[in-house]
Chains A and B, each alone.
Chain A
Amino acid sequence: EVQLVESGGGLVQPGRSLRLSCATSGFTFDDYAMHWVRQAAGRGLEWVSGISWNSGSMDYADSVKGRFTISRDNAKNSLYLQMNSLRPEDTAFYYCVQGYYYGSGSYYKYPNDALNIWGQGTMVTVSS
């Protein structure tokens, strides 16, 4: 069974940092691109960041670019999101997501994937 389990969320003051982790199991982790998606209360889904299977390609939403860093450790089957200079507007539920590649043979298998299997999420609250 495929499992994605996020951890590392919590309450943090504005300007501070937090690192989210996503432990995965049940699939060959380094075959897939991975993503972080968030949802603030009462708002829609917002894609935060994505990373190719080999970390060779990645990108970020404009709202987090320069503050957040996505990374992965294929040996540990884990995905990470380092969040620096946190703002109140970063308060949200953060999901780790496995990509489902359906593009035309890109080496990176990213972009051109869909957000296939989602973790249950971890809450991040940025407040003083």
Chain B
Amino acid sequence: DIQMTQSPSFLSASVGDRVTITCRASQSISNYLNWYQHKPGKAPKFLIYGASSLQSGVPSRFSGSGSGTDFTLTISSLQPEDFATYYCQQSYSTLYTFGQGTKLEIK
């Protein structure tokens, strides 16, 4: 199975900050890497596919990059509604796996 490792697990930041979350795959997954935002009590929201393509309706302050084994999610200027848990997920193999999540909290 492909293991996905996110860092950091917790991140404290302020409104307006630029933040970056990293995700590493245990083997090359080309660009089959997706990002999600999850808030308590709600269904997860699909943000980015193919490592860097923004899903329709997602604000442009979100961006993704990377290929192979190393990927990043960047939020250029944090907004109050961005405080949530973020997950990466690989869809390279038929057995999908998520990273453990990064909880983004207000400083």
Footprint of B on A, CB under 8 Å? 35, 37, 44-47, 50, 57-62, 95, 100, 102-103, 110-121
Contact = CB atoms under 8 A, between A and B. Distances in A.
Contact of A111 (B55, B85, B91): B91
A27 to B, nearest CB: 14
Contacts of A45: 36, 38, 44, 87, 89, 98, 101
Nearest to A61: B95
Interface in B71-107: 85, 87, 89, 91-101
Given A44-B100, A119-B43, A102 B49 contact: yes
B89 A111 contact: no
19 contacts: A37-B44, A44-B98, A44-B99, A44-B100, A45-B101, A47-B89, A59-B94, A61-B95, A61-B97, A95-B43, A100-B46, A100-B49, A100-B55, A102-B53, A112-B32, A114-B34, A114-B46, A117-B46, A120-B43
Chain A CB within 10 A, most for which of B1, B49, B101: B49
Interface residues of B, number: 26
Nearest to A59: B94
A64 B32 CA distance: 23
B50 interface: yes
B7 to A, nearest CB: 14
Interface of B: 1, 32, 34, 36, 38, 43-44, 46, 49-50, 53, 55, 85, 87, 89, 91-101
B100 A102 contact: no
A62 B93 CA distance: 13
B18 to A, nearest CB: 24
Which interface residue of A59, A115, A118 has the most chain B CB atoms within 10 A? A115
Nearest to A110: B94
Contact of B98 (A47, A58, A113): A47
